[in-house]
Copies of this chain bind each other. A is one copy, B any other.
Amino acid sequence: MTFNYPSSVSLVEVGARDGLQNEKAEVSTEQKVTLISLLAASGLKRIEAGSFVSAKWVPQMADSADVFARLAAFEPASGAQVTYSALTPNVKGLEAALSAGVSEVAIFGSASESFSQKNINCSIDESLRRFEPVVKLAHSNRIRVRGYVSCTLGCPYEGDIASSDVARVSRQLSEMGCYEVVISDTIGTGTPVKTARVLDAVMQHVPVNQLAVHFHDTYGQALANIHTALQLGVSSIDSAIAGLGGCPYAKGASGNVATEDVLYMLDGMGIKTGIDLSALLEASLYISDVIGRLPQSKVAIALRGG
């Protein structure tokens, strides 16, 4: 078998946003900034650091402006060229993000009509129309936009989602100007063959070097799916330090795939990332201590000692 394995992979660290947004423990602005600085110190170059949404709906991200202000202050000192991004669902959020000095933003569409209706209260098409001015304003400020597609490998309301629906939304986000489209397994029900089928369909419309994958590890399938994406040539992968994003003791809770476990696989496969595993472990143990539980990463558990 010959595969299109990439020689290097760009990891997008989403623990400080997608992860912490779904954790019950309170994490202070100071602690978030410490976490992000540890992540940057490990060699991560792309870090999702916050979300400019209503504090009423996502109280965990209410301090995102403060987080970005602090990041702007310490970044020059670190010397690293790190991209700190934020989720911006609308123009109002984007304006706040621009004021806070974000270096990249993300919007999020859904491949499932029911999920779109229940989650953002409008149809897929309407949601895409609402994103157009967001992308335009971002571009006029020389800010790149990433586009998430949720529920690509299953929907909590509809179950299976047609690959053609995923491909259509992906194409529209790409045509709208998103430099990268993120195929997301929101509920973690994806398995390898389905992953390959969906990616194949999307790749008919969006070049593989403009694709990323984002897996939740609810059913332990994330690494097998990521490996499948690598075989197809995908070279941009989302993950969250310590598998943040879901407490294993609560039903239905589903963390992101752990950055440590993804890195272990990539290192073992000889795929370059520029990230240092032992430095990453420091970040993992730090935030796990803050939220008061063990890392949801087998690599972190195995290597932490004790």
Contacts and interface: CB of A to CB of B under 8 A. Distances in A.
A218 B265 CA distance: 12
A217 interface: yes
Contacts of A218: 298, 302
Interface string A185-201: 00011111110100000
Interface in A231-289: 231-232, 248-254, 258, 261, 264-265, 267-270
Q: Chain A interface secondary structure, helix, strand, loop or mixed?
A: loop
A219 B189 contact: no
B299 A220 contact: yes
A57 interface: no
Contact of A217 (B1, B189, B267, B298): B298
Interface of A: 1, 3, 5, 188-194, 196, 217-221, 223-224, 226-228, 231-232, 248-254, 258, 261, 264-265, 267-270, 294, 297-299, 301-306
16 contacts: A1-B232, A189-B268, A191-B265, A192-B268, A219-B264, A219-B298, A219-B299, A220-B258, A221-B268, A227-B228, A248-B294, A248-B298, A249-B294, A252-B301, A252-B302, A254-B302
